Structure 1
Amino acid sequence: MTSKPTALWVRLWPVYVILIGLGLALSQGWHEYLTLDSLSANAVSLDAMVRENFLIVFALYILVYAAATTFMVPGSALTIAGGFLFGLVLGTPATVIGATIGASILFFASKTSIGAVLRDVAGPFIEKMRAGFAENPVSYMFALRLIPIFPFAAVNIAPGLLGAKYSDYLLTTFFGIIPGTLAYSWIGAAVKGTLLEGGTPDISSLAANFVPAFLALGLVSLLPVAYKKFFPRKVPA
């Protein structure tokens, strides 16, 4: 006996959870703390808030990041905020989890009636990606995460439209975004460290904390070069 397909509104339950969490954050004004100016001005109070309400703040940050990814909002500043709030060790996985959840929602949405709308977003890039997917989907999706040659939103949407397996998509998304997330989270952690020490967020006063972060960002920027050298046939066209 063939089971009845699950209704679309049921399959989109993760979107509802994210919207509820996002609505709570907005109603409380917590989103205002995620700008660099606000982070700088409230470093001590934010540090205390995270320590006193860690699980709540951590979960809400993941929900906000997932929502931002789902609605295709650029996430560099938010990634830095994650490093600022939770430090490098915890900020990195929080961002990776949030981004992966948001990307997964877009993946599944692309396979529903919403896919027609999403195709308009990724349309200009889909044909450029098709050959790479046909050759080696896993390697190609991992390359797309490491090499920012296409917009992040398009890379989140295109695999579902091109028939990628979710297990492969999940694996390459989660691990592929770690290097970039690590670098940006390090910057946020460096800013927080300096502010809590009584410094100000300028290059000279942040030098000691920023050197490792800038080195990490530099290494990430070299990933495309290294990938092209070792995997010349699988680089995005």
Structure 2
Amino acid sequence: QIEKYLAAGFAGIAALGFAGYCISTGQNPSQVFASLSTVDPKQLLEASVIRVEELGTLGYLYFAVVYIVAEMLPTPAVPLTASAGYLFGVTMGTVVVLLSATVAAGGAFVIGRTFLRQWVERFISKSKKFQSIDEAISRKGFQLVLLLRLSPLLPFALSNYLYGMTKVDFWQYLAGTLLGFAPGSLAFVLTGHLGRELSGT
């Protein structure tokens, strides 16, 4: 039941973020979708960074929305992570990145749990080996997620959906993601900040 409420919550956040983007840029939804279909991801990220600087304080929200979308899709978010340090500094850049990544991870998890978990249950019901693995994941969820965030075996976006297909507890998953994602995020944010310092801008 909680997954349904979470799914509705994430959908609401996405809708509000999209509406905020349309209002701030003066575009209607059809124009936004049209631009997304014609602009390649790298150009979109570069344009987003420029737009964030122009928005001032609202740039935090705009950046978070772009980051969440990038992390939920197969789009490399490393340039955005470094951009957070360039735009906001080390402290605020790290905070924005960690919160945005955690929200994206939670949204993808809920999608995986809501729409894919039943299929997985039907599959593992035929194998005691997979049942044992699934149970082990549920018992050691936090430790497992933490370790795999520190030393990822799969792309971030893909792993988020896969975690939702397991029995790992949602809150343990979020905690493991937040803590495990912190060191790498800090490193990339610091790189972006140093880049700005060296450029003198």
Instruction: Indicate whether the TM-score tops 0.5.
Output: yes
Show structure 2 runs of 5+ residues with no match.
Answer: 36-41, 121-129
* 1:147 alignment partner AA: S
Q: Check the 8 A contact 1:58/1:94 in 2, yes or no.
A: yes
Which of 84, 94, 99 lines up with 1:82 in the alignment? 84
Residues 175, 85 of structure 1: CA spacing in aligned structure 2 closer, same or farther, 3 A cutoff?
same
Deviation, structure 1 residue 57: 0.5
Match of 2:182 in 1: 178
Of Structure 1 and Structure 2, the greater helix share is in 2
Verify the 8 A CA contact 1:137 1:164 in the aligned structure 2. yes
- Coordinate RMSD, CA, aligned: 3.6
Give the number of the structure with larger relative contact order, counting CA–CA contacts within 8 Å between residues 6 or more apart.
Answer: 2
Q: Amino acid of the residue matched to residue 88 of structure 1?
A: V
Q: Which amino acid aligns with 2:173?
A: Y
- Which of 100, 103, 111 is the aligned partner of 1:98? 100
User: How far is 1:54 from its partner?
Assistant: 3.6
2:109–2:160 contact (8 Å) kept in structure 1 = yes
Give unpaired runs (5+ residues) of structure 1: 120-126, 198-237
For 1:23 and 1:32, locate their aligned partners in 2 and report how far apart those are by CA, in whole Å.
18
Cα pair distance change 1:46/1:167, threshold 3 Å = closer
Instruction: Give the counterpart of 2:75 among 73, 76, 91.
Output: 73
- Name which of 135, 147, 157 aligns with 2:161: 157
Work out which of the residue numbers 191, 196, 201 in structure 2 matches 1:192. 196
1:24-68 Cα offsets, whole Å, 9 max, x none, are 577599x968439x97xx7xx986x4xxx5420111111110111
- Larger Rg belongs to: 1
Contact 2:138 2:169 in 1 (8 A): no
Q: CA deviation at 1:185?
A: 0.5
Q: CA deviation at 1:152?
A: 1.1
Shift of 1:165: 1.3
Structure 2: distance between partners of 1:107 and 1:155: 9
- Separation of aligned partners in 1, 2:23 and 2:151: 35
Q: Contact 1:88/1:189 (CA < 8 Å) preserved in 2? A: yes
CA distance in 1, matches of 2:8, 2:171: 23
Equivalences for 1:25-64 in 2 at 5 Å?
A: 27=27, 34-35=45-46, 49=54, 53-64=55-66
Preserved contact between residue 22 and residue 64 of structure 1 (Cα < 8 Å):
no
Report if the CA contact (8 A) 2:84-2:94 is conserved. Answer: yes
TM-score normalised per structure 2: 0.70
C-alpha spacing 1:10/1:135, structure 2 compared with 1 (3 Å): closer
Deviation (angstroms), 1:20: 3.0
Partner Cα separation in structure 2 for residue 82 and residue 134 of structure 1: 34
Give the C-alpha shift of residue 23 in structure 1: 4.7
Residue in 2 that maps onto 1:112: 114
Pick closer, same or farther for the CA change 1:141–1:9 going to 2, 3 Å: closer
